[in-house]
Amino acid sequence: MTMSSSAPAHYRPYHPKWYRQRVSVWWWLEKPVYALFVLRELTSVAVAFFALMLLALIRAVAAGPEAYARFQAKLQSPLFLVLDGIALALVLFHTVTWFNVAPKALVVRIGGRRVPDALVAGAHYAAWLGLSGVVAYVLLRG
């Protein structure tokens, strides 16, 4: 039987269902490495929190001294101090775990040879330390 382009497609009424093994919602708790992976992915929420706080800061500064003073007062409340502390811990965890996995995600070759993983991760940590030093210098010099 040949089908012309105008003929409707023929579907079987009893198409077999594909086999899919059921997976628990808690699959990531089976191995510590899975749990760390999911935790690192969830810490992206803390990164987003800091990004939103930065945007709110820029908005407050642009709105004038009164708005900036209100924003600073809000940030000094116990709720924001606790949220910032938790977010800082989560972002530090996110950063350290990303730097540790960076050699797997970023393969660097020099002269046809792969740079050792420890050197790639070490370069990330060195850049982080150097940039943190520059920021500390700029903030604390006055």
Q: Is residue 3 part of a domain?
A: no
The pTM is what? 0.72
In which domain, by residue range, is 75 found? Answer: 27-136
Is the pLDDT at 95 greater than 60? The verdict is yes
Residue 35: which pLDDT band, with cuts at 50, 70 and 90?
Answer: very high
User: What domain count does the chain have?
Assistant: 1
Asked whether residue 19 carries a pLDDT value surpassing 80, the answer given is no
Question: Residue 91 class from Cβ within 10 Å (0-12 exposed, 13-18 middle, 19+ buried)?
Answer: middle
Q: Which of 95, 112, 104, 120 is nearest to 43 (CA)?
A: 95
Residue 119 counted as domain residue: yes
85 falls within a domain: yes
Q: Which residue has the tokens 């996110």?
A: 94
* pLDDT tens digits, 51-84: 999 999 999 999 999 999 999 999 999 999 999 9
The enclosing domain of 119 has a CATH number of: 1.20.1300.10
Q: Residue type at 45? A: V
